[in-house]
Amino acid sequence: MQAIDRRFGAVTVLVGDKNGKYPHGNSLWIEGREGTAVIDPSLSVVARRDELAGRADLVIQSHVHEDHVAGVPLFPAAKVYAHRADLIGLQGLDGLMAIYGYEGLDAAMRDFVVQQFHYRARPDAHGFDDGDAFALGGTQVRVIHAPGHTRGHSVLLIEPEGVLFLGDIDLSSFGPYYGDAWSDLADFEATLRAVRDVEARVWVSFHHVGVIDDRDTFVEKLDRFAARIAAREAALLEFLTEPRTMAEMVCHRFLYPAHATMPFLDAVEERTIQQHLDRLLREGRIERCDEVRYRRLGRS
């Protein structure tokens, strides 16, 4: 294992390129007495194929997105697991496309995940549920369903080490991502409340912050991450002081910087905005002024 890796008992954090900045990520490698598991094998695991290929008995996914499954083909003999709700994304490319749900971008996304992330279907993959545990001999991986980013997104608690793998609750300055067909804002908010109370000693996110080993720092970063949701909603409300169409809101960019050009940006902006609009309509804080435009009510 490389010097940069962090070790906690049976758990090694395979720290990714640029501390796991997308498209890379931080993966976990767990060596029990009776078996070895890798969690979310990233492009940085692919780069270490000479050292790691074929050495895991289990591949366990926090969820199924291109950057989290890039290293799955290194372990053809391993049993591969994801939460039942995300399983179709492992079993075939059609399933992965359903998870994204970006209309009109199907061909571009298929090419993107196969060419840049080495995607290969695993029709033999298995599903797990909340509360399931994988015993590896002296250490185990316990599943805590934490949906919102995707329907099946789960955090994984490794015991007795007390390492909590957060997946894409990535504590980044971007904030929570809930822009896919498989995403849900309200679920993500419930997950952010629940994950705060999980007993752990070390927290590992797939991207950016990597390893955190004290609770105060974790809670501070979690609160800052969660606050991005309210900041987006406030910015949207401000923008709706004038009546606006969805096209105008997408063009304004509430998530991505104006210079970003990935093909899926508009779809993600729209799905994110729509979830906030639905909530603001329900709460009576905005109204539809005609067929296509929304407007803020009052100054709440």
Residues contributing to the site for Zn ion (CB under 5 A): 65, 168
Q: How far is the CB of 281 from Zn ion (least distance, A)?
A: 28
**Residue whose structure tokens are 């079993």:** 91
Q: How far is the CB of 132 from Zn ion (least distance, A)?
A: 20
Query: Which residue, 188 or 218, is less far from Zn ion as judged by CB?
Result: 188
Element (H, E) at 81: strand 79-83
Query: Which residue, 65 or 151, is less far from Zn ion as judged by CB?
Result: 65
C-alpha distance from residue 107 to each of 41, 126, 262, 267 (Å): 25, 27, 14, 15
Residue 184: CA atoms inside 13 Å, Cβ hemisphere, count? Answer: 12
The C-alpha atoms of residue 64 and residue 85 are separated, in whole angstroms, by 10
Closest chain position to Zn ion (CB): 65
The pairing of strands 133-135 and 140-145 is antiparallel
Q: How far is the CB of 36 from Zn ion (least distance, A)?
A: 24
Query: Which residue, 99 or 157, is less far from Zn ion as judged by CB?
Result: 99
Q: How far is the CB of 61 from Zn ion (least distance, A)?
A: 10
CA-closest candidate to residue 186, choices 97, 51, 278: 278
Q: How far is the CB of 68 from Zn ion (least distance, A)?
A: 6
The C-alpha atoms of residue 247 and residue 210 are separated, in whole angstroms, by 36
Query: Which residue, 65 or 271, is less far from Zn ion as judged by CB?
Result: 65
The C-alpha atoms of residue 43 and residue 22 are separated, in whole angstroms, by 9
Query: Which residue, 168 or 233, is less far from Zn ion as judged by CB?
Result: 168
